[in-house]
């Protein structure tokens, strides 16, 4: 099967883990770049990344990179590509344009130029032309302009891959699923779960960290519940290949369904507990992830298994949205107290966008990571 070049994008700071993940899928020529991680592989590999990546936002099939100085250069570069191989003349498209230059001063103008060039390619061939659909296009074209170079591709993911399809209501401040997965990856949760360690989130909100942790421990593909991927309306799509990749993922999730892993969550707010429980049910993970309404101050280490150890992971409230400054400092201080009192031989990972609140925990961090904070 022919190998092609792809670009996977992720939240800032996550690229290094995304590169490791792509290598684990069998991607070749994996290179971390400012705009994402480029790799080569077959179409089946690209489908696998769309279905299995816990860290990517998008997977883009690269069609070409061009040095461009003017709008005419952009027009020529884009009309030169074989769009008839990608978009049906009766189909629809949308262009995501990013970047700017002397000639292209805003993304909307850039998107318009690229769209005009694509549809002219059909007109020149005397064919009818695809229409524009900004909501649910058959094909999403991406065009990025940086340092005088235009890269053009087909977005195989469609909506961002962090939208797994299991969370309908995230509550006040949910984490993006791929940020949660990156935190678990950085804290070595996949290896810990294989060693039989437990996972606890004492401030679980809608349960994102726990659910991503469960999907990892159970080797379940995160995209299995998504209704749609970007490649489904693309002319190059190979439904037989895709169904084979999907069937393999279903088979793997059936095989690992009985994995014994201890995952628990707590939250002081009963409505958060209800939201998390709904998400757990939607994923059918009731026997793996257990949630109760409990305040951090009442948290004790699990005692029902001998020598159980594990990872405490949490994303406490921060900033103006979720509490005033002095009560937040007090809360972070009590996180340090609970860890020292109950979880001395566990590892802990705390996700916060506020470094000074992090310091209020009062414990020394082994590692610190900076990522794009997004909810």
Ligand X SMILES: C[S@@+](CC[C@H](N)C(=O)[O-])C[C@H]1O[C@@H](n2cnc3c(N)ncnc32)[C@H](O)[C@@H]1O
Quote the strand ranges of 238-288, DSSP E: 263-267
Give the binding range for ligand X (CB under 6 A) out of 251-259, 262-270, 342-350, 364-372: 262-270
CB 229, min distance to ligand X, A: 24
Interface residue with ligand X among 55, 175, 216, 261 (CB under 6 A) is 175
Which position has the token pair 């793996």? 288
Residue 360 is a binding residue for ligand X (CB under 6 A): no
Residue 203 is a binding residue for ligand X (CB under 6 A): yes
Whole-Å CA distances, 85 to 35, 229, 249, 307: 26, 18, 29, 59
Nearer to ligand X, 90 or 340 (CB): 340
Residue 173 is a binding residue for ligand X (CB under 6 A): yes
Size of the site for ligand X (CB under 6 A): 21
- The DSSP output letter for 174 is P
Interface residue with ligand X among 46, 209, 214, 218 (CB under 6 A) is 209
Q: Please report how the helices 71-79 and 107-124 are oriented relative to each other, as an axis angle in degrees rounded to 10.
A: 40
Residue 193 is a binding residue for ligand X (CB under 6 A): no
Interface residue with ligand X among 155, 267, 338, 349 (CB under 6 A) is 267
Q: How far apart are CA 45 and CA 337, in angstroms?
A: 46
Q: Cβ(142)–Cβ(111) under 8 Å? A: no
Residue 315 is a binding residue for ligand X (CB under 6 A): yes
Residue 178 is a binding residue for ligand X (CB under 6 A): no
Residue 171 is a binding residue for ligand X (CB under 6 A): yes
CB 259, min distance to ligand X, A: 23
Residue 13 is a binding residue for ligand X (CB under 6 A): no
Residue 272 is a binding residue for ligand X (CB under 6 A): yes
Q: How far apart are CA 232 and CA 226, in angstroms?
A: 12
Closest C-alpha to 363, from 330, 340, 331: 340
Residue 337 is a binding residue for ligand X (CB under 6 A): no
DSSP alpha helix (H) spans, 256-293: 270-282
Q: How far apart are CA 14 and CA 326, in angstroms?
A: 31
Give the binding range for ligand X (CB under 6 A) out of 7-15, 44-52, 168-176, 254-262: 168-176
Residue whose Cβ sits closest to ligand X: 205
Residue 205 is a binding residue for ligand X (CB under 6 A): yes
Interface residue with ligand X among 13, 170, 190, 196 (CB under 6 A) is 170
Q: Report residue 160 as tokens.
A: 């961002």
Residue 107 is a binding residue for ligand X (CB under 6 A): no
Q: Cβ(276)–Cβ(204) under 8 Å? A: yes
Sign (positive/negative) of CA torsion 245, 251, 255, 260?
positive
Which position has the token pair 């229409």? 131
Residues of this chain that bind ligand X (CB under 6 A): 170-171, 173-175, 202-203, 205-206, 208-209, 267-269, 272, 295-296, 315-317, 331
């Amino acid at each position: 099967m022919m190998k092609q070049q792809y670009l996977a994008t992720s939240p800032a700071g996550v690229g290094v883990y995304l590169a490791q993940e792509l290598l684990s899928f069998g991607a070749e020529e994996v290179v971390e770049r400012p705009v994402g991680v480029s790799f080569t592989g077959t179409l089946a590999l690209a489908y696998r990344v769309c279905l299995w990546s816990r860290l990517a936002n998008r997977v883009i099939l690269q069609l070409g990179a061009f040095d461009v100085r003017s709008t005419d250069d952009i027009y020529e570069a884009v009309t030169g590509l074989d769009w008839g191989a990608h978009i049906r003349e009766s189909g629809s498209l949308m262009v995501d344009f990013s970047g700017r230059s002397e000639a292209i001063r805003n993304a909307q103008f850039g998107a318009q130029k690229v769209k005009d060039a694509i549809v002219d390619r059909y007109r020149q061939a005397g064919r009818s032309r695809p229409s524009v659909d900004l909501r649910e296009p058959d094909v999403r074209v991406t065009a990025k302009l940086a340092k005088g170079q235009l890269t053009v591709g087909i977005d195989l993911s469609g909506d961002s891959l962090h939208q797994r399809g299991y969370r309908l209501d995230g509550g006040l401040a949910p984490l993006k699923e791929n940020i949660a997965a990156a935190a678990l990856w950085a804290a070595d949760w996949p290896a810990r779960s294989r060693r039989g360690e437990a996972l606890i989130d004492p401030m679980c909100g809608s349960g994102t960290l726990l659910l991503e942790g469960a999907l990892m421990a159970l080797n379940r593909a995160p995209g299995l519940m998504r209704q749609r991927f970007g490649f489904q309306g693309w002319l190059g799509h190979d439904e037989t290949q895709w169904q084979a990749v999907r069937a393999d993922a279903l088979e793997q999730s059936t095989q690992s369904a009985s994995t014994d892993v201890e995952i628990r969550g707590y939250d002081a707010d009963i409505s958060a507990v209800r939201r998390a429980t709904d998400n757990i049910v939607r994923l059918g993970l009731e026997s793996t992830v257990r949630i109760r309404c409990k305040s951090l101050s009442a948290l004790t280490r699990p005692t029902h298994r001998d020598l159980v150890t594990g990872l405490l992971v949490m994303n406490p409230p921060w900033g103006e949205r979720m509490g005033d400054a002095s009560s937040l400092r007090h809360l972070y201080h009590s996180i340090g107290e609970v860890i020292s009192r109950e979880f001395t031989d566990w590892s802990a990972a705390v996700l916060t966008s506020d470094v000074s609140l992090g310091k209020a925990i009062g414990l020394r961090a082994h590692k610190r990571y900076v990522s794009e904070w997004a909810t």
